[in-house]
Amino acid sequence: MLIYEFTRLLLAEIESKKTPESYLMYALYDQDSVLYDQGKVLVSNAAANEHEQLRQTLKVKKNGYLETFVVNETAQNIFFDNLKVQSTSPIIVQENAYYPFGMTIAGLDYSYNNHTNRYLYNGNEIMRDHGLELYDFKSRFYDPAIGRFTSIDVLADHPRQIGISPYQFSWNNPIRYNDPDGKCPSCFPMLYAAYQGMKAKYSGILSQVNAPSQRLISGTSGNTPSNIRMSETMRSTIKFTGVASDINAVTDVGKTLAREATMDVGNTLDTGGGLISDAGMALAIPTEGMSLALVLFGEVTSAAGKVMKGLVYYSEGDNRNAAIEGGNIVFGVATNSLTKTAVRESKRVGNITNSQEETITETVLGGLGSLYNKVVGYFTHGDEKDK
């Protein structure tokens, strides 16, 4: 009986001792860095000489980010380990599968709790009033059962659609083409695709700097809620770490943006210069050599693009690709020099007797040189294209 009473008193004494001010803290911010939820899980007496789990289940209601850390505000040794954040994907409320022309595949559709979403194929709304089953493609209505629109294309007279039914969808080839708004599927395919690709790439890059830049501008980097108890030293440390992290994030995105912009301009100049040079070569005979000035302009433009790409590669320590770009420039200069030397020598020995023959010879040799340059460029960058 005495042993039992002693044990009870000992346990009561342990339970009455003050728990150290240690805890797991979390804060939820929206995409504009505005705090909308916070809290902490305190270490209890159960952690005395034992292992205690500090666990918090959160429902993230907004786009944004989570900040979490462990804090010990006492001189007592508190050991934390295995800190981790686990996420559970949201419930899939609806899933639809389609045939190429837009009809749903029976048996593959799924809906959670009879959830109904009317915006289906290509993100367009399906009209089921009176059993119509037609899609509203904004510019006209579409029937997926027959793969045809109910009215003519507003761009039916476009040169790329001459000879095609004005009621067709995706030029009768939805595997290759798309027509999300009921207009011409691909009247400006290369320019539109390039624009969409650039837009998606740079939007993705800039989205990474949105939150940290806003925090730096507003001075909220590393801020902790004032109603959460912690020492000023700890608060200052978290503040300093947050500011340094945001500055580092902005700097990294700036470097990525500069790199991608330089490479895109370089590729544009390189490709555009090659096209200008080829056009000048192709028009040399009809224009009696006047268009050969375009060849020089195109070659200089292309070389400028190669220099820009080479500098990017060199700055990243990619000496192989930097050497390839430099080698392509040297090879292009060499072939042009050989072409001019050959023409000049042919004139000296009398093989070229008039300006027309000179234009033809220079065009043929220049075309061969351009072909050699393209072959060399293809093989030197072949592995890069395969990626």
Is pLDDT above 50 for 178? yes
Q: What are phi and psi of 40, to 5 degrees?
A: -150, 155
pLDDT recorded at residue 61: 81
Is pLDDT above 90 for 70? no
The number of CA neighbours under 13 Å toward the Cβ of 106 is 0
Q: Are 350 and 365 in contact (CB under 8 A)?
A: no
pLDDT recorded at residue 10: 44
Is pLDDT above 80 for 324? yes
Q: What is the mean pLDDT of residues 145-167?
A: 88
Taking residue 37's Cβ as centre, other Cβ atoms within 10 Å add up to: 16
Give residues with Cβ within 8 angstroms of 150, minimum separation 6. 134, 140, 141, 142, 143, 167
The per-residue pLDDT for range 297-310, each reduced to its tens digit, is: 888 888 898 899 88
Is pLDDT above 70 for 189? no
Distances (CA, A) of 41 to 15, 25, 64, 228, 234: 18, 6, 22, 12, 17
**CA 85 – CA 75 distance, rounded (Å):** 27
Of 96-100, 136-140, 221-225, 356-360, the least confident: 356-360
With a pLDDT cut of 90, the percent of the chain lying above it is 12
**CA 131 – CA 258 distance, rounded (Å):** 54
Residue 340 or residue 259, greater confidence: 259
Residue 97 or residue 4, greater confidence: 97
Q: How high is the mean pLDDT of the chain?
A: 79
pLDDT recorded at residue 146: 95
Confidence category of residue 363, pLDDT binned at 50, 70, 90: low
Of 67-76, 218-227, 359-368, the least confident: 359-368
Helices 292-315, 319-349: axis angle to 10 degrees equals 160
Is pLDDT above 60 for 104? yes
Q: What is the mean pLDDT of residues 280-296?
A: 73
Confidence category of residue 46, pLDDT binned at 50, 70, 90: confident
Confidence category of residue 188, pLDDT binned at 50, 70, 90: low
**CA 278 – CA 280 distance, rounded (Å):** 5
Of 27-36, 195-204, 234-243, 245-254, the least confident: 195-204
DSSP E strands in 227-382: the ranges are none
Confidence category of residue 168, pLDDT binned at 50, 70, 90: very high
Max distance between CA atoms of the chain, in angstroms, equals 128
Give 135-191 as a 3 state SS string.
EECCCCEEECCCCEECCCCCCCCCHHHCCCCCCECHHHCCCCCCCCCCCCCCCCHHH
Helices 319-349, 355-380: axis angle to 10 degrees equals 160
**CA 70 – CA 80 distance, rounded (Å):** 8
